[in-house]
Amino acid sequence: MPDLLLDVNIIVDLCAERVPYVGPALEAISRCQQEQGRLWVYAGSVQTIHWVLAAELRRQEEQSGRTLGWTSALDASRKILREFTEDKQWLAALAYEGDVFQSSDPEDEQLIRALDRFGDGEMFLLTRDQALLEKTARAMSPEQFLARDSNSRNVDFIDLKSQQDKLRPALERNIHRALHHGRYIMGPEIRELEERLAAFVGGKHCITCSSGTDALFMTLMAYDVGPGDAVFTTPFTFIATAEAISFLGATPVFVDIDPRTFNIDPNQLELGIEALMSNNPSIHPLPSALSPKGIITVDLFGLPADYDSINAIAREYGLFVIEDAAQSFGAEYHGKKAGTLADIGCTSFFPAKPLGCYGDGGAVFTDDDDLAEKMRSIRVHGKGSDKYDNIRIGLNARLDTLQAAILLAKMEIYPREVQLRQEVAERYTDLLSTQSSALSTPFIPEGMKSAWAQYSLLARDEALRQRIQERLKEAGIPTAVYYPKPLHVQPAFSYLGYSQDDFPVALETSKTIFSLPMHPYVKDWELDRVLTILKEVERI
Ligand SMILES: *Cc1c(COP(=O)(O)O)cnc(C)c1O
């Protein structure tokens, strides 16, 4: 996947259709696009490009015996460039590229420095300038570019680059604003983001924090969960869900999942609560005698759990419900948004989640004023009226201002991205459910909309899953298994004393489940490649 930074002379060749140079230049950029590379224009060269193109337009007119005034030439140049740059990426000029006056050719030096930001082989400078071609191995003429070995692009499991391409100007503006106002901790972006997120989910309070894991911590701490307390949860989730319970000295009590949704099974949940209340491990596996305190549901792969049933059970037994919406931000349950489906919702902005920042981040949602105030305090060392008034034991769990700035840019297109994920999932499902009997496609109950953090399928058996994963890998298509080991068989939870057959559905699911590339920008050729391979494997 070669990206090309277009030098001024190449841009002018293309825009003024300068013969004989335009031919090879056009061929090179179309090759780059075929190989899924991107075309970049250096923002630091804008004025040069504008003037050089205008001069070239004047020269061409003169050659054909006409004259073109400077004003008209500059107007024409702007118009052409506006169109030309529409489908190109802007490469920002950074401070490091301003300090170039020690060089005999500051403009070349700028470009060379800009290229420094890219890893080996990711970006070439396309130019006809002999001096530049000699100065750096990263510079190539159109002819050299066309003569090199082309390599086809691998499919991304999660394509964060395409998203960045769509958002680059807003992302860079927001990051720079934060750099310049300098309020790196709890800057104005935090409040703005919290308002934005609360409005998006339709909830009263949003408290951003440093990760999805810390969101769970803050929530459990707000409920004073500790030793002797049982918190019911699924064994088929990322470890953070149950880790937070254990870390606070409480005990995760696992409850098996529904084989179709992979989410906690309300019938099993009720059995588990009954077993605990009557201290009767013959009806449900239990780690020890404990007092039931609450439930953490997980909206696995982006699909909300069965909240009507779960909330009703919780009310009956006086338990709290925490929604682990780390994978489901943007999902819907009968018209309500994930994050608001239980007493408190937790989400994560880990980069690979549906809404991710460029580091760790998370948020908590609740409509309960007291819980919200408590969690705001816990987030900052248990603060009272100020930071040096400490009224409880808390955490340092704030979201960075810079991450909030990034999330604000991403929120601009998030609703559209959720929609695009639906479309990708629908295409997978349409094609796979008609062509395949050995794979079961995701089940989405009536009235629910998944955020499609993952598109996960069940293979008929373990051997088929292995064959599929191997063949896809050979074709440059990554897959993943979430989760190869349910939590009740993880060494970290061996102290709970579960046996591997305690939760048969979770165990069986872990043997045959796998996930395909899923993100809003899956392209047709990628989808085709995946489906072609899957078809082939089944025929073998
Ligand atoms: C990712 C994830 C978490 C943890 O989020 P982090 O931001 O990585 O701490 C918790 N629960 C589930 C279900 C997750 O997928």
- Ligand 1 in reach of 296 Cβ (< 6 A): no
Coil, strand, or helix at residue 148?
A: coil
Question: Which residue's entry shows tokens 């939870």?
Answer: 493
- Ligand 1 in reach of 456 Cβ (< 6 A): no
CA distance 494 to 503: 14
| DSSP letter assigned to residue 318 | T
Question: Best substitution site from 245, 327, 349, 364 to test ligand 1's pocket, by max atoms within 8 Å of Cβ?
Answer: 327
| DSSP letter assigned to residue 437 | S
CA distance 498 to 503: 9
pLDDT at position 250? 97
**Two structure tokens written together for 115:** 């290229």
The minimum-distance atom of ligand 1 relative to the CA of 214 is: 9
**Ligand 1, atom 10, residue with closest C-alpha:** 240
The pairing of beta strand 291-298 with beta strand 251-254: unpaired
C-alpha 174 – ligand 1 centre gap (Å): 25
C-alpha 272 – ligand 1 centre gap (Å): 24
pLDDT at position 434? 78
pLDDT at position 194? 98
Cα separations in angstroms, 470 against 154, 273, 443, 467, 534: 15, 42, 25, 5, 11
Strand partners, 91: 42
- Ligand 1 in reach of 212 Cβ (< 6 A): yes
- Ligand 1 in reach of 211 Cβ (< 6 A): yes
pLDDT at position 443? 97
The helix-helix angle for 160-181 and 188-201 (nearest 10°) equals 140
Cα separations in angstroms, 169 against 18, 338, 409: 30, 29, 9
Coil, strand, or helix at residue 262?
A: coil
Query: What own/partner pairs with CB < 8 Å and gap ≥ 24 does 76-79 have?
Result: 77/15, 77/50, 77/51, 77/53, 78/50
The minimum-distance atom of ligand 1 relative to the CA of 299 is: 13
Q: Which of 36, 310, 51 is nearest to 155 (CA)?
A: 36
Give residue 171's identity as a one-letter amino acid code: L
- Ligand 1 in reach of 298 Cβ (< 6 A): yes
Phi, psi angles (nearest 5°) of residue 348: -125, 145
CA distance 464 to 474: 15
Cα separations in angstroms, 176 against 179, 368, 414: 5, 35, 21
CA distance 531 to 427: 10
Cis peptide before 20 (omega within 30 of 0): yes
Strand partners, 480: 515
C-alpha 123 – ligand 1 centre gap (Å): 33
The minimum-distance atom of ligand 1 relative to the CA of 298 is: 13
Coil, strand, or helix at residue 523?
A: coil
pLDDT at position 2? 87
Counting every residue written for the chain, the total comes to 540
- Ligand 1 in reach of 237 Cβ (< 6 A): yes
Question: Best substitution site from 348, 349, 358, 400 to test ligand 1's pocket, by max atoms within 8 Å of Cβ?
Answer: 348
- Ligand 1 in reach of 240 Cβ (< 6 A): yes
pLDDT at position 540? 54
Question: Which residue's entry shows tokens 């084989």?
Answer: 259
**Ligand 1, atom 2, residue with closest C-alpha:** 326
CA distance 200 to 414: 10
CA distance 241 to 424: 28
The minimum-distance atom of ligand 1 relative to the CA of 361 is: 7
C-alpha 304 – ligand 1 centre gap (Å): 15
pLDDT at position 398? 98
Question: Best substitution site from 262, 300, 350 to test ligand 1's pocket, by max atoms within 8 Å of Cβ?
Answer: 350
Question: Which residue's entry shows tokens 């908590």?
Answer: 364
E-strand spans in 299-370?
Answer: 320-324, 332-333, 336-337, 344-348, 362-366
- Ligand 1 in reach of 440 Cβ (< 6 A): no
Q: Which of 134, 131, 140 is nearest to 25 (CA)?
A: 140
- Ligand 1 in reach of 297 Cβ (< 6 A): no
pLDDT at position 122? 84
**pLDDT per residue rounded down to tens, the chain (540 residues):** 789 999 999 999 999 999 999 999 999 999 999 888 999 999 999 999 999 999 999 999 999 999 999 999 999 999 999 999 999 999 999 999 999 999 999 999 999 999 999 887 789 999 999 999 999 989 999 999 999 887 667 899 999 999 999 999 999 999 999 999 999 999 999 999 999 999 999 999 999 999 999 999 999 999 999 999 999 999 999 999 999 999 999 999 999 999 999 999 999 999 999 999 999 889 999 888 799 999 999 999 999 999 999 999 999 999 999 999 999 999 999 999 999 999 999 999 999 999 999 999 999 999 999 999 999 999 999 999 888 899 999 999 999 999 999 999 999 999 999 999 999 999 999 988 877 778 999 999 999 999 999 999 999 999 999 999 999 999 999 999 999 999 999 999 999 999 999 999 999 999 999 999 999 999 999 999 999 999 888 775
The minimum-distance atom of ligand 1 relative to the CA of 327 is: 15
pLDDT at position 483? 96
Domains of the chain, start order: 3-153 (3.40.50.1010), 164-411 (3.40.640.10), 414-539 (3.90.1150.10)
The minimum-distance atom of ligand 1 relative to the CA of 300 is: 13
- Ligand 1 in reach of 238 Cβ (< 6 A): yes
Task: Quote the pTM value.
Answer: 0.95
pLDDT at position 386? 84
C-alpha 362 – ligand 1 centre gap (Å): 9
Q: Which of 539, 486, 492 is nearest to 509 (CA)?
A: 486
- Ligand 1 in reach of 126 Cβ (< 6 A): no
- Ligand 1 in reach of 263 Cβ (< 6 A): no
Q: Which of 322, 241, 293, 287 is nearest to 487 (CA)?
A: 241
Q: Which of 344, 329, 333 is nearest to 231 (CA)?
A: 344
